[in-house]
Homo-oligomer: A and B are copies of this chain.
Amino acid sequence: VTRIRAVAVHDVRFPTAAAGDGSDALNRGDYSATYVELRTDGPHTGAGFTFTNGRGNELTCAAVRALAHHVEGRTLDELFADPLRFSRSLTADVQLRWLGPEKGVIHMATGALVNAVWDLRAKRDGKPLWRLLAEMPTAELVACVDFRHIDDALTPEEATAILDQGLAGRDERLAGIARDGFPSYTTSVGWLGYPDEKVRALARAAYADGWRAMKMKVGGDIDDDVRRAEIIRAEIGPDALLMMDANQVRG
């Protein structure tokens, strides 16, 4: 039996704004993370976090502490016996729901706690979380989803049908991921606040490191965007994928 004894909250800050790391057309903040550890009486700790692109991380830390009593003292078996009830204990805490519900600071804190519980379960079961979810029986997976706000668009029965359909070829796909990994991209080459030569050096290094998909930020000055895109394309060649993200800025 894995019982959660305490929730430790770490307020982690990175001074990213100074050099423009993480900057885009809307944001230039000091990255920070509310890092949550579930301490248990067993061999594992559960880890989860929520990320904010800016200061004010003390708010999400305080929100995790305000919600922590919903997991402290509970066992994993209790929480997963009714996963919906567990997640709703966080999203509909009668003393905290006016601070959200299900939005902003309190939503982010809920995510950190829910993810930490899932992380703890995956560790207990001895497999990565992606495999735990991919191998989970359909009925169990559907029982984890709160359909309260979406059942006009998707019912549990429809979700079940979609997931059951996805069972075809699942084993081959799992073997493929285990063998080849999962395709991914890097955003680190093209933050909006980076000077051109930094973009060039980072794109070159990322390509040499094996990356074949890169994302750049756009949405500031159009001529700057074009020039930076040319720099990256020149470094990664015609076949690699170049993606652009304007972060909701209107032209």
- A sample of 16 cross-chain residue pairs with beta-carbon separation below 8 angstroms, ordered by A number, consists of A27-B97, A28-B94, A54-B94, A54-B95, A54-B96, A54-B98, A55-B96, A56-B63, A59-B59, A59-B62, A59-B106, A63-B105, A99-B104, A99-B108, A103-B103, A104-B106
Separation of A53 and B27 alpha carbons in the complex (Å): 32
A58 and B56 alpha carbons, distance in the complex (Å): 13
Measured in the bound complex, the distance between the Cα atoms of B54 and A55 in whole Å is 25
- Chain A: interface size category: 20 to 34
| A30 proximal to B (CB < 8 A) | yes
**Closest B-chain residue to A60, C-beta based?**
B99
Is A160 engaged at the interface, CB distance under 8 Å to the other chain? no
Q: Are A94 and B27 in contact (CB under 8 A)?
A: yes
Q: B-facing mask of A145-158, CB < 8 A → 1, else 0?
A: 00000000000000
- Check A111 for interface membership: any CB of B closer than 8 A: no
Please give the distance in Å from A70's CB to the nearest CB on chain B: 13
Determine whether A187 belongs to the interface, using a CB cutoff of 8 Å to chain B. Answer: no
Complexed CA–CA distance, A167 and B58 (Å): 47
Beta-carbon contact of B29 and A105 below 8 Å: no
